[in-house]
């Protein structure tokens, strides 16, 4: 009998499966990375990215001939040499020259910037390249480029490219210690970003301006910029729009304001929807009001938003909410965890804080997932598509015939902007997998990232920030204005975001109270940073431990509950992270 010759991919798949069964996720990724095919390298890159190894993910993407995805990983990992390799592969001479200039390699940057200047006819791009050449060549040799840039800057139309040109002027000013040009460049860039309503970049640019002023020793300017940044956490909302309802909101006439806004909100009027969101969230939405509406008025505004289509919630076609700011950023770095954990359902154990390190950036959803958002998964036939489910989850769903969350038809729990409850851990995971695929297809979610449940440590980093606070809002005692818990007296879940005074440092709301949130962390290894992808019905996983009927002690950032993945109670929901 002739020997059986199996394809190499068969042995690769067997090796990967064996490593996965042994819990060796890194080894499985390494086997794929070393296999030598583009498909295997691409799969290895995705696995490395999920594990938080951005450098290895970037190398795997390069091996898979995906330099754009590799560049994103190397940028996040701050590896300029590898970024340069990606830009060389992409043939982006302008970006190569800019990176070399930033690294202090002016001589190497000049020929690339000159070639890029010869290729680009857009005035804003030309102005930026002229300024970069002026910086690279020095004051004498670069004088002609500097003059050409100044002439073009005054003629530029508003665009993202013109912002880059003004920032290049600021960079030239920093290189030559010209404070007037630093201030002019940053001020013009900030003004244009505000007009474009690009608030994340506005904040980033303001922080760069503050750092430049610090380097120049201009303490007064540093203080002004620091105060300006603090006062304009969301500059889009610093000034309420001119509207008949605005004076009613600022004077505390809540019922009249809702009466004015309701008809327009029902017609989809953007300003009316924004003002209702401001009434609900106030400073957390970026529009601090002189008077904070009482909870009854916030709940009324939330009910109205839920009825007309809450613009704070995620649009799966866009990857953000219509009003923006759905995702809250968590930067890599040290943080604290622990302090209060549930030992079992009857016994609680207080632990002291320990320090850990988040090795990669994370975005966490501002709110728990709502019924309106979960409805998209049901409408997409997500309960009948095995590809969205883990192996254990799909088998259990088939056996029990699940078609929707357990309380989907119960009016007490199914209002559009209430947190979705009655979902098992497997349903929560399936939703994240489905939405990841939607994001990849639509283009708002890069192929190097996914949406999933947070690990316990990621969740605690979001809730606690980088200090040792007890609650998401700080160390001040719990009170009904900060969270929906037993003392609040509501007795059921409230629409998301009704307690802006309980916001976490990152801006996330409802991390204390309202509903428990499933986590991608097993009980047996609660401090692992690697997410769990599947569990059997007999295993248990962690949840945040505070709901609308819990006591204040359960609102601690480190409090945890634990349940089997198939439990579908009205106390359990989910929140996503983007990693």
| Per-residue pLDDT reduced to its tens digit, 274-293 | 999 999 998 777 776 767 78
Q: How far apart are CA 33 and CA 39, in angstroms?
A: 10
Continuous segment of H or E residues that includes residue 225: helix 219-231
Is 380 within a domain? yes
Please determine, for residue 164, whether its predicted confidence score (pLDDT) is greater than 90: yes
Residues 432-440, mean pLDDT to the nearest whole number: 97
191 and 334 in a common domain: no
* 313 part of a folded domain: no
Identify whether 440 is part of a domain: yes
Same domain flag for 334 and 451: yes
pLDDT confidence of residue 261: 96
Whether the predicted model's global pTM rises above the 0.85 cut: no
Flag whether pLDDT at 344 surpasses 50.
no
Structure tokens at 307: 């009825």
State which of 52, 74, 90 marks the end of a domain. 90
What is the per-residue pLDDT for 406? 96
Pairing of the two strands 541-544 and 560-563: antiparallel
Q: How many domains does the chain have?
A: 4
Candidate ranges 244-258, 324-338, 409-423; pick with highest mean pLDDT: 409-423
Q: What is the CATH number of the domain that holds 50?
A: 1.25.40
Tokens read off for 35:
């296999």
- Which H or E element spans position 118? helix 106-119
On the CB side of 51, how many CA atoms lie within 13 Å of its CA?
19
How many CB atoms neighbour CB 433 within 10 A? 22
168 & 226 share domain: yes
CATH number at residue 494: 3.90.1580.10
Contact assessment for residue 224 and residue 209, using Cβ atoms and an 8 Å cutoff: no
In a domain, 239, yes or no: no
Whether residue 295 is found in the same domain as residue 198: no
Q: Check whether residue 85 and residue 98 sit in a common domain.
A: no
Give the pLDDT mean for 5-16.
79
510 and 372, same domain (yes or no): yes
Question: Do 14 and 138 belong together in one domain?
Answer: no
**Domain final residue pick, 62, 90, 118:** 90
Q: Would the pLDDT of 162 be above 80?
A: yes
What is the rounded CA–CA span in Å between residue 186 and residue 192? 10
Residue 538 CB coordination number (10 Å): 9
Which domain, by its residues, includes 558? Answer: 327-578
pLDDT of residue 351: 56
* Same-domain status, 193 and 181: yes
Once rounded to an integer, what is the mean pLDDT over residues 442-462?
96
Are residues 298 and 197 part of one domain? no
Report how far Cα 453 is from the mean position of its chain's Cα atoms: 13
Specify if 265 maps to a domain.
yes
Mean predicted lDDT score pLDDT of the chain: 89
For residue range 348-389, what is the model confidence (pLDDT) as tens digits?
A: 445 578 999 999 999 999 999 999 999 999 999 999 999 999
Note whether 265 and 398 are same-domain residues: no
The domain boundary residue, chosen from 90, 120, 154: 90
> Same structural domain for residues 215 and 280?
no
CATH code of the domain in which 111 resides:
1.25.40.10
Q: What is the tens place of the pLDDT at every residue in 195-206?
A: 776 777 888 888
Q: What is the DSSP letter of 258?
A: H
Instruction: Flag whether 3 is in a domain.
Output: no
Q: 297 and 340 share a domain?
A: no
Cα angle 498-502-503, degrees, rounded to a multiple of 5: 95
Buried b (16+ CB within 10 A) or exposed e, 86-98: bbeeeebbbbbbb
Q: Return the H-helix or E-strand segment holding 199.
A: helix 199-216
Q: Is 130 domain-assigned?
A: yes
The kind and range of the H/E element at 429 are: helix 425-442
Longest distance between any two alpha carbons in the chain, whole Å: 91
Euclidean distance between the first and the last CA atom of the chain, given in angstroms as a whole number: 51
Answer whether residue 80 is part of any domain: yes
What's the helix, strand, coil split of the chain in %, to 5?
50, 10, 40
């Amino acid at each position: 009998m002739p020997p059986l010759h199996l394809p190499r991919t068969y042995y690769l798949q067997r090796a990967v499966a064996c490593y996965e069964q042994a819990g060796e996720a890194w080894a499985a990724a390494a086997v794929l990375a070393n296999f030598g095919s583009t498909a295997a390298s691409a799969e290895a890159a995705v696995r490395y990215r999920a594990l938080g190894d951005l450098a290895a993910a970037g190398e795997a993407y390069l091996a898979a001939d995906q330099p754009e995805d590799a560049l994103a990983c190397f940028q996040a990992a701050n590896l300029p040499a590898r970024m340069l390799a990606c830009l060389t592969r992409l043939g982006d001479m302008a970006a190569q020259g800019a990176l070399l200039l930033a690294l202090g390699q002016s001589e190497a940057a000049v020929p690339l910037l000159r070639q890029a200047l010869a290729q680009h006819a857009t005035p804003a791009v030309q102005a930026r390249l002229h300024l970069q050449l002026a910086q690279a060549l020095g004051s004498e040799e670069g004088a002609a480029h500097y003059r050409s840039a100044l002439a073009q800057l005054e003629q530029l139309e508003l665009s993202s490219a013109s912002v880059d040109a003004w920032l290049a002027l600021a960079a030239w000013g920093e290189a030559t210690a010209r404070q007037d040009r630093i201030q002019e460049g940053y001020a013009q860039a900030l003004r244009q970003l505000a007009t474009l309503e690009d608030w994340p970049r506005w904040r980033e640019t303001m922080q760069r301006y503050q750092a430049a002023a610090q380097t120049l020793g201009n303490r007064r300017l540093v203080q002004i910029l620091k105060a300006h940044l603090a006062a304009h956490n969301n500059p889009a909302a610093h000034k309420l729009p001119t509207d008949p309802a605005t004076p009613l909101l600022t004077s505390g006439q809540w019922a009249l304001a809702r009466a004015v806004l309701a008809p327009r909100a029902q017609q989809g009027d953007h300003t009316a929807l924004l003002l209702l969101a401001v009434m609900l969230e106030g400073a957390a939405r970026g529009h601090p009001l002189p008077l904070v509406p009482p909870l009854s008025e916030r709940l009324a505004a939330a009910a109205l938003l839920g009825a007309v289509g809450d613009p704070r919630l995620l649009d799966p076609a866009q990857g953000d909410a219509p009003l923006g700011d759905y995702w809250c950023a968590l930067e890599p770095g040290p943080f604290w965890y622990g302090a209060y954990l549930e030992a079992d359902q009857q016994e609680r154990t207080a632990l002291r804080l320990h320090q850990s390190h988040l090795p990669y950036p994370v975005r966490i959803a501002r709110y728990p997932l709502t019924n309106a958002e979960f409805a998209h998964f049901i409408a997409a036939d997500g309960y009948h598509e095995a590809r969205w489910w883990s192996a254990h989850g799909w088998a259990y769903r088939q056996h029990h015939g699940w078609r929707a969350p357990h309380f989907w038809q119960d009016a007490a729990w199914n209002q559009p902007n209430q947190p979705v409850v009655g979902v098992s851990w497997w349903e929560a995971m399936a939703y994240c997998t489905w939405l990841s695929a939607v994001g990849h297809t639509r283009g708002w979610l890069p192929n190097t990232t996914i949406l999933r449940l947070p690990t316990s440590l990621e969740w605690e980093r979001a809730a606690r920030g980088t200090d040792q606070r007890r609650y998401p809002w700080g160390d001040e005692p719990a009170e009904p204005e900060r969270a929906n818990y037993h003392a609040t007296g509501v007795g059921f879940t409230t629409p998301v975001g009704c307690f802006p005074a309980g916001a976490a440092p990152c801006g996330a709301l409802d991390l204390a109270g309202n509903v428990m949130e499933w986590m991608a962390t097993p009980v047996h290894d609660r401090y692992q940073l690697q997410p769990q992808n599947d569990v059997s019905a007999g295993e248990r996983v962690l949840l945040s431990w505070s709901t609308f009927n819990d006591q204040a002690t359960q609102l601690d950032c480190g409090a945890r509950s634990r349940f089997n993945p198939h439990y579908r109670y009205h106390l359990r929901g989910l929140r996503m992270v983007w990693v």
